[in-house]
Amino acid sequence: MRALLSLLLVLFALPAAAAPALDRLKLPPGFHVAVYSDQVPNAREIALGAKGTVFVGSNDAGKVYALTDGNGDGVADRVRVIASGLQLPVGVAFRDGDLYVSAVSRIYVLRDIENHLDAPPQPEVVTDRLPTETHHGWKFIAFGPDGKLYVPVGAPCNICDPGPDHAKLLRMNPDGGGWQDVARGIRNTVGFDWQPGTKQLWFTDNGRDMLGDDRPSDELNRVTKPDEHFGYPYCHQGDTLDPEFGKGKRCQDYTPPVLKLGAHVAALGMRFYTGSQFPARYRGAIFVAEHGSWNRTQKSGYRVMAVRLDGAKVVAYEPFITGFEQDEKAWGRPADVQPLPDGSLLVSDDLAGAVYRVTYRP
């Protein structure tokens, strides 16, 4: 079948997808990166099943993928499409055998999915009451330590005052009921996780565009109290009033970020690292996938960063994987990070249509 496909590509002059250029990537000494699968177009959020299945959301023809490594060699040997035709099903979250999928205004669930990968069930609607705008409408989702499903609702614009139904993070019961706002003043979070031990919620937030190359910064934030407000659209990066919506406001009235991640880096998925394979300096650290800028004079982001912590205090913000972009040309764009039970780390790349696996062997 592959030989036939190659022949057809030659006959009809259709370009094959370029293989991920892993030789261009730079990691700290002792770390290695390999392709887990290069058959996942527009790969976005990653979720892990109880039986080792790697689920990946995407914006490719509404598809959701299931990746399995049958022989345990660290490479996916099966890639299945388990749902299609959904609206931007970027977010995936696994709980009690079921896979939850975000689709802009809807959350779906695929029941008992790992036992039905070859004949997946029809997606069931959990809720269809989320806003319908697609501008910042695709969603990273995750279950918290409280058993609730956390769902962001981004601002339907670059900069606006959208009212109480947008620019926030909410949570709901697994059946779609019991909605509750968790935090407000969030332009668009596409990554969040709970710190081990404290169970506090941390999240990335993308700063607004069109204020120049170097402001405002994307943010790493921490939720410390109910219904906390993080500034959007009035104050950006904790210290910069918006030229239009900041009039009459004060930045000190809103929660500042724990860390400024850099202007326009497009910080997306983030996870705490709790494994033991990586050196001790990375245990409890946050890995952040920075998708990369789209309108900056010189590109920023296009990397995976490590945020090392001492409790809630940031002690270092340093590159972990770089090389997805050289000379202002990008071949890859990290979208999410997900530690595996063996302590390795998966990284999704929606531009290359791939998922990578990072291991440590000194």
Question: Within 10 Å of residue 360's Cβ, how many Cβ atoms?
Answer: 18
What pLDDT does 1 receive?
Answer: 38
Evaluate if residue 3 carries a pLDDT over 50. Answer: no
pLDDT in tens, 168-192: 999 999 999 999 999 999 999 999 9
Examine residue 16 and state whether it is found in any structural domain, yes or no.
no
Q: Report pLDDT digits (tens) over 244-293.
A: 999 999 999 999 999 999 999 999 999 999 999 999 999 999 999 999 99
Is 118 part of a structural domain of the chain? Answer: yes
For residue 11, what pLDDT is reported?
30
**pLDDT value at residue 18:** 53
For residue 145, tell me if it sits in a domain. yes
User: Using only C-alpha atoms, what is the Rg of the chain?
Assistant: 20
144 in a domain, yes or no?
A: yes
* Mean pLDDT estimate for the chain: 94
Q: How confident is the model at residue 36 (pLDDT cuts 50, 70, 90)?
A: very high
Local structure of 162: helix, strand or coil: coil
Specify the amino acid at residue 278: F
User: Is 171 part of any domain?
Assistant: yes
pLDDT of residue 350: 97
Other CB atoms within 10 A of residue 87 CB: 16
pLDDT at 21: 87
Measured from the Cβ of residue 160, the count of other Cβ atoms closer than 10 Å reads 17
CATH of residue 49's domain is 2.120.10.30
Confidence tier at 20 by pLDDT (50, 70, 90): confident
Query: pLDDT tier at 12 (50, 70, 90 boundaries)?
Result: very low
Please state the rounded mean pLDDT for residues 298-308: 96
Joined tokens for residue 251 = 């930045």
Residue-wise pLDDT for 113-156, tens only, equals 999 999 999 999 999 999 999 999 999 999 999 999 999 999 99
pLDDT at 10: 32
Q: Is residue 310 part of a domain?
A: yes
Q: State the residue range of the domain holding 159.
A: 31-360
Q: What domain count does the chain have?
A: 1
Show the CA angle centred on residue 158, arms to residues 144 and 317, nearest 5°: 55
Q: For residue 173, give the DSSP letter.
A: -
Question: Does the residue 15 lie in any domain?
Answer: no
> Tens digit of pLDDT for each residue in 304-347?
999 999 999 999 999 999 999 999 999 999 999 999 999 999 99
Tell whether 9 is covered by a domain.
Answer: no
The full DSSP string for 269-303 is EEEE---SSS-GGGTT-EEEEE---SS-SS----E
**Which contiguous run of DSSP H or E holds residue 3?**
helix 2-11
Q: Has residue 5 got a pLDDT over 70?
A: no
